[in-house]
Structure 1
Amino acid sequence: MTSSRSDGSDTLLGAWLLGLAGFVDAIAFVVLHGSFVAFMSGNSTIFGASGAVGHWRTASLSVLLIVLFFLGNVLGALQSRFLGRTAHRSLMISIAVVTTVGTAVATWMSEAAGMITIAIAAGLINSALSARTDVHVGLTYVTGTLVKSAHQLVDGLGSDHPWAWIKTLGFWAIFACGAAIGGVAYHGLGSAALWFAVALAVIACLLPHRFR
């Protein structure tokens, strides 16, 4: 029973953070003209392609986003390793604080600078869950989610758990839905839509979790 509740709390938290990541990534895509805060595979491709044709400003932006995303992951990993039982709460608060700072910057100073700041929060999100869970580390690596779901589909043929792949595929769907909602919200509200992301991050601080 305890294990089931633990798995459920990881799933809920992972799904919630994925929706948040999709939401801010869609807004970043629009504000940063095709760059991302949560999809580093895309930024890596943009960096390579832009550098190859001499678009150094775009390439530099991609590098900056990758560095900040990496920094967010490092900060999250440090908290997970050294803060013990307070690590999860500290991580959630860090995500909420950075998202709030980025939103404030985007709202009152510069949309681009605000979204770049939120890349750190996206990195923190990817450090929020343990490797010992169905919700894998590298939360916003949805390509990996699709690959895992495909393998589970094949592995489930003729087994007692033929539908396990649907749960994994659901994480991709949540990210995509978050992105769709973020796009619609930004279209209607502009940078003020990011305050919904702040609300999502604050609620994440209150969601159940397990100590690992």
Structure 2
Amino acid sequence: MQQHVRFERIWAAFLLAWVAAFSDAIGFLVLQQLGASFMSGNSMATGVALGRLDWPAALHSGFPIIMFFVGNMLGFLMLTLTRPWHIRSPFAIIFALEVIFLLAFLLVGSRSFQGGSVRPLDSWIFYVCTTLLTLAMGLQTATVRRARGEHISTTFVTGVLSNWANALAQYLPWLRQQLAEQSVLQVIRTPVHQASARHFFLLSGLWISYLIGAICGGVLELRLALTALVFPICILVVLIVIDVLQPFEREYF
């Protein structure tokens, strides 16, 4: 039963990575290539714009940084405040708030959707949509941060790829030495190999889930526009139900 719970939680992380990439893809396509969770890219773009005294561009790339930070801080505050209150399903509360932000983005953005994107940068609606999407991504970033003892993120994958490379760099020399001393079957049965395989599966699954989410977002936005956000919203609703019925244990995250 314990192993089943762990496996279920890993798939919850994969689903959240899919949700984040799907939502990011929608934002990238309809909000002038907005990076809703790519704060390193936004920070670089803000610095370039400031260096060139391009104030509109600096606002375009700098504003999401502020909103993401606010959403992230709000998520951490909610988790912190729910501990003394002994709230059974704190993640469900955050996911519900994320659903509200995504649904509001869908409704507000659809009213000003024209030519495949939300109204140009000089429209207040553009910044409302930017706020809603980046707040949602900031909130999600505060939730799932550990799986199988590893630090992870479901909203951006640069750290995942770095950890993936680091794990392989440490594992391959060990594997080469072991294969020189033991058979392949003996190596596969060793705890070190099994732990490394689980780590590899976790990081690979996160990256693949994120990639598939972006693909789905790109494809469905062409056909459904912002209505495509119904799909990540439904996934979040499923995760809310799971957390209410069987709360996510924090040692897994």
Partner residue in 2 for 1:7: 6
Partner residue in 2 for 1:204: 239
Partner residue in 2 for 1:114: 129
In 1: Cα distance, 2:76 partner to 2:154 partner: 14
Tell me, what secondary structure is at the counterpart of 1:149?
helix
**After the TM superposition, which residues 9-48 of structure 1 pair with which residues of structure 2 at under 5 Å, given as runs?**
9-48=8-47
What amino acid sits opposite 1:197 in the alignment?
P
> 1:188 aligned to 207, 220, 223, which one?
223
Residues 1:147 and 2:162 aligned together: yes
Any conservation in 1 of the 2:92–2:239 contact (CA below 8 Å)? no
In 1: Cα distance, 2:45 partner to 2:231 partner: 28
Any conservation in 1 of the 2:14–2:154 contact (CA below 8 Å)? no
**After the TM superposition, which residues 27-106 of structure 1 pair with which residues of structure 2 at under 5 Å, given as runs?**
27-84=26-83, 85-106=88-109
1:92-123 deviations in Å (ceiling 9; x for gaps): 21111111112111122463332431110101
Any conservation in 2 of the 1:10–1:133 contact (CA below 8 Å)? no
In 2: Cα distance, 1:129 partner to 1:151 partner: 21
Tell me, what secondary structure is at the counterpart of 1:38?
coil
In 2: Cα distance, 1:187 partner to 1:180 partner: 11
Bigger Rg, structure 1 or 2: 2
Runs of 4+ in 1 over 6 A off after TM superposition: none
Any conservation in 1 of the 2:22–2:216 contact (CA below 8 Å)? yes
1:135/1:69 Cα in 2 relative to 1: closer, same or farther (>3 Å)? farther
Tell me, what secondary structure is at the counterpart of 1:160?
helix
| Deviating more after overlay: 20-29 vs 98-107 | 98-107
1:131-189 deviations in Å (ceiling 9; x for gaps): 47546354323110001111112233324234332431221111111111111111222
In 2: Cα distance, 1:122 partner to 1:52 partner: 28
Residues 1:167 and 2:213 aligned together: no
Query: Structure 2 stretches of 5 or more lacking a match?
Result: 119-125, 176-191
| Deviating more after overlay: 147-156 vs 175-184 | 147-156
Tell me, what secondary structure is at the counterpart of 1:206?
helix
CA RMSD between the two structures:
2.2
In 2: Cα distance, 1:135 partner to 1:181 partner: 27
In 2: Cα distance, 1:10 partner to 1:51 partner: 42
Deviation at 1:124, TM superposition (A): 0.8
Query: Structure 1 stretches of 5 or more lacking a match?
Result: none
Deviation at 1:200, TM superposition (A): 2.4
Deviation at 1:86, TM superposition (A): 3.3
| Deviating more after overlay: 111-120 vs 23-32 | 111-120
Any conservation in 1 of the 2:105–2:132 contact (CA below 8 Å)? yes
Tell me, what secondary structure is at the counterpart of 1:205?
helix
TM-score calculated relative to the size of structure 2: 0.75
Any conservation in 2 of the 1:19–1:174 contact (CA below 8 Å)? yes
